[in-house]
Structure 1
Amino acid sequence: MLKDNGFEDTMLYERKHLTLSETEKLVGKAKFKELLSSHIHTPPGKPTLAVSEDKREAFKRMTAAQVFADAGN
């Protein structure tokens, strides 16, 4: 009824972006990484205890001055 009386779709409906997770599911992980990896920054996770054979890079302790110096880059 509203459309028939001159109201446009843009006035009646909201359009929103998908989240990154929703977009990755839509296009597939490989294609998502290929197209968007250079535009997405993933911060490192919290430090955890691990066995010495763990393949992940070891945690490097930083002083507050180093953290803030890196933040300016």
Structure 2
Amino acid sequence: MQSQKYRGYDVWGHAIVQENDGVHRPARYAASGTITRGGNGGKLIQASGVLGDFESEEDAQLAGLEWARAWVDAHD
């Protein structure tokens, strides 16, 4: 999980490992994003559903952060 401050919000990018058989397919990661306000344990503002399937944990987290920043830009 990665987080950052953005325009007064805390935005989060999440990577959820997807099932794999360990032999035939490498791990894949589902991306999601979350927006909170008010510091650690702050109020949940919005959460995405699954944003897509990515080959790396970092790419999934970055997609979640990008979604969260775009949501803030559109709603603030």
TM-score by length of 2: 0.21
Which is strand-richer, 1 or 2?
Answer: 2
The structure where helix makes up a greater share of residues is 1
> Normalization by structure 1: what TM-score?
0.21
Select the structure of larger CA radius of gyration.
Answer: 1
